Chain A
Amino acid sequence: MNSSQLFGITTLSYLFSSILYAALLIFKSKKAGRLGLWAAIFGVLVQTVALGLRWYESYQIGIGHAPLTNMYESLVFFAWCTTIFYIYIEYRYKASVVGAFVMPLAVAAMAYASFASRINQEISPLVPALQSNWLLAHVITCFIGYGAFAVAGGLGVMYLVKQRSTSTDPDSLTGSLPALRIIDDLTHKTIIFGFMWLSAGIITGAVWANEAWGTYWSWDPKETWSIITWFIYALTLHARFTRGWSGKRIAWLAILGFVSVFFTYFGVNFLLAGLHSYGSS
Chain B
Amino acid sequence: MALALRLQKSPMPGFGLGMGITLAMLSLVVILPVVALLARGVSYGPEAVWATINTPRVWAALYLSFRLAFLAALFNLVFGSLLAWVLARYDFPGRRLIDAFVDLPFALPTAVAGIALTALYAPNGTFGSIAKSLDGKIAYTQWGILIALIFVGLPFVTRTVQPVIAEIEQEVEEASATLGAGRFYTMRRVILPMLLPAALTGFALSLARAVGEYGSVIFIAGNLPMKTEIAPLLIVIKLEEFDYGGAAAIGIAMLVISFSMLLVINLIQIWSRRRIGHV
A and B associate in one complex: no
Using CB atoms and an 8 Å cutoff, list the residues of chain A in contact with chain B. Answer: none
Using CB atoms and an 8 Å cutoff, list the residues of chain B in contact with chain A. Answer: none
